Chains A and B, each alone.
Chain A
Amino acid sequence: MEEKVITVTSGKGGVGKTTTTANIGSALALLGKKVVVLDGDIGLRNLDIVMGLENRIVYDIVDYVEGRCRLRQALIRDKRAPELYLLPTAQTRDKSAINPGQMVQVCDELRKEFDYIIIDSPAGIEQGFQNALAPADRVLVVTNPEVSSVRDADRVIGLVEAQQKGPVQLIINRLIAARVKKQEMLSTQDIMDVLSTEIIGIVPEDEAILSSSNRGTPVVFNGKSPAAIAYRDIARRLIGEDVPLVQPQPTSWWQKLFGRTE
């Protein structure tokens, strides 16, 4: 099966799921794919804010599921890319407003029209997580280089494996190479010792993220900041391009460490 539905999850909150969803979705759209990003966090929506589309929401996924609108009406077009859409969630409801079966149905509708459906999972392992996982063809687990985040990622990977959803790939987010070198932060190797899951990207800590989230412009839309490059690389790996994985370095950030030497 074609891997169209990609769920971004983590277990722990605040590790960068929403930023990752917005940037990977936008980067895939900039590569010419038809993409919809879907906010799975019913009641605590914020993918629309990070995408800068908050003021255009009329209908949301709960309205569609409950029959108050057609799917087309709930989709918000993002004009910064040729074919990028947001399916927002409801602010006034909670996780029980949608069940996993309905989530699968919504995604089955979206599959007909889109190349990629990127789902931003809520934190936790309760119903919102189960909703986000149910339709997934591929799961991206986001972790930060610190012990509690890795522990939660391990738990989530175990749950995903138990439901035989896969493949599972790992994004290490907010890595600060200088602090890893000083052994103040877990290294990629430390994380792999516990998780032993394929890494699809390492995103360095980047000041550009904060300002871009506040402005509602994902970093991949402008500039060459380190995080923007990392997210664009992840998008290219998702569409099957062979982009070697690079390990952020304190001295020269994009020095190639592993992957094949060219």
Chain B
Amino acid sequence: MIAIKGFKQGLLVIFSGPPDEPWLARLRELEAKLSANPGFFKGGSMAFDVKAMPLSEDDLRRSVALLESYEITLWAVLAQDEATRARVRALGLADRLTPPEPAAAPVTHRPRDVARIPAATPSPTIEPTARAAPAEEHHPEGTDGLLVRRRVRSGQVLRHPGHIVVIGDVNPGAQLIAGGDIIVWGKLQGTAHAGALGDDRAVICALEMSPTFIRIADATRAPRPGERRSRNKASSAEMARVEDQQIVFVAWDKAARISE
């Protein structure tokens, strides 16, 4: 039983289930998730929440090594077992989710301009017609999201298993990696990977779409010829989505609702 959640310092893997289940079996389950979508995890950092399960030093070292082989940094392990926590600290890992050092933080944003959108409880006031059936299937209503209200600069990486919404520009050299959709209320010039956990129904929307490179699930696309470097060109909002395994761009307006 593994759940992967996004939070301010990266990803949190929650291991739930009976505490006597062997750790190796759980690691294998995690590895299956990592190997299914290595692109989403690569270069990121992770924290574990192992609940009441006691872990040996060997268990911890194996976890670090497994993540390393996928180029992921394990920086914290939360455990209820006091002896496990001591072993976690002895290995130089954090035993709670205080922010890592600024230089080590993969997501270098300031807390005040970032908001995690919590999973909403279904509200009876929402009209049934507002929820198109296909959208509901691939993103259940109330999927987590990361809202970032600032410019994302070169070298900065935002990674979230749900949606990513940026209110601001995404500069060349910046990277967005989302399990769900990516919405940029601004100019997208960096790279964006939506549906990074395998969902090819995910979309990428931007007021100004001039990415260095975009990816939806496994489909990739470099910018259209002549679309970059075109300065001061008045352009309209666009949406990228996958059709017949190819990424296509369509005008992002009433005719191309995300939930169509």
| Chain A interface residues (CB < 8 Å from chain B) | 130, 151-152, 154-155, 157-159, 161-164, 190, 194, 196
Inter-chain contact total with CB atoms closer than 8 Å: 38
Is the Cβ of A196 less than 8 Å from the Cβ of B151?
A: yes
New A-B contacts (9) at CB < 8 Å, excluding given A155-B153, A158-B155, A163-B102: A130-B103, A151-B172, A155-B154, A157-B153, A159-B155, A161-B153, A162-B105, A164-B110, A194-B171
Name which residue of chain B comes closest to A158, CB basis.
Answer: B153
User: In whole angstroms, what is the CA distance A130 to B172 when docked?
Assistant: 23
Q: Is B37 an interface residue (CB 8 A)?
A: no
Q: B201 near A: Cβ within 8 Å?
A: no
8 A Cβ contacts from B92-128 to A: 102-103, 105, 108-110
- Identify which of A159, A162, A194 contacts B172 (C-beta below 8 A): A194
B156 CB within 8 Å of chain A:
yes
Collect the chain A residues with CB atoms within 8 Å of residue B189's CB.
Answer: 194
B146-176: which residues lie under 8 A (CB-CB) from chain A? 151, 153-156, 169, 171-173
Interface residue? B254 (CB, 8 A): no
Residues of chain B having any CB pair with chain A under 8 Å: 102-103, 105, 108-110, 151, 153-156, 169, 171-173, 189, 231
Q: With both chains docked as a complex, state the minimum distance between the C-beta of B112 and any C-beta of chain A, in angstroms.
A: 10
| Interface pair A162/B154, CB less than 8 Å apart | no
Taking the closest CB of chain B, its distance from the CB of A147, in whole angstroms, is 8
Q: Contact at B108–A162, with CB atoms within 8 Å? A: yes
- Quick check: B110 and A155 within 8 Å, CB to CB? no
Q: Known contacts A154-B154, A190-B231; is A159 also within 8 Å of B171 by CB?
A: no
Q: Which residue from chain A places its CB closest to the CB of B156 in the assembled complex?
A: A158
Which are the 7 A-B pairs with shortest beta-carbon distances? A158-B153, A162-B108, A154-B154, A155-B155, A155-B154, A154-B153, A158-B156
Bound: A151/B212 CA distance, A: 13
B154 touches A161 (CB 8 A): no
Chain A nearest CB from B155 CB (Å) reads 4
CA distance A196 to B153 in the complex (A): 11
> Which residues on A sit within 8 Å (CB–CB) of B153?
154-155, 157-158, 161
- Chain A residues contacting B173 (CB-CB under 8 Å) are 151, 154-155
For A190, what are the chain B residues with a Cβ–Cβ distance below 8 Å? Answer: 231
**Do the beta carbons of A158 and B231 come within 8 Å of each other?**
no
Bound Cα distance from A155 to B153, whole angstroms: 6
Q: Which residues of A contact B105 (CB under 8 A)?
A: 162
A151 and B108 alpha carbons, distance in the complex (Å): 17
Chain A residues with CB under 8 A of B110: 161-162, 164
How distant is the Cα of A158 from the Cα of B102 in the complex, in angstroms?
11
8 pairs from A and B in contact (CB 8 Å cutoff) = A130-B103, A151-B173, A158-B155, A158-B156, A162-B110, A164-B110, A194-B172, A194-B189
Please indicate the chain A residues that have their CB under 8 angstroms from the CB of B154 in the complex: 151-152, 154-155, 158
With A and B bound together, what is the CA distance between A162 and B173 in angstroms?
16
How close is B252's CB to chain A, nearest CB, in angstroms?
21
- Min C-beta distance of A183 to chain B, whole Å: 9
In the complex the two chains form, what is the Cα distance from A177 to B154 in whole Å? Answer: 27
CB distance from B109 to the nearest CB of A (A): 7
Check B172 against A158 for contact (C-beta < 8 Å): no
In the complex, which residues of chain B have a beta carbon less than 8 angstroms from the beta carbon of A130?
103
Complex: how many Å from CA A159 to CA B189?
19
Residue of B nearest to A125 (CB): B155
Chain A residue numbers with a CB within 8 Å of B151 are 196
CB neighbours of A151 from chain B (8 A): 154, 172-173
Nearest-CB distance from A12 to chain B (Å)? Answer: 12
CA distance A157 to B189 in the complex (A): 17
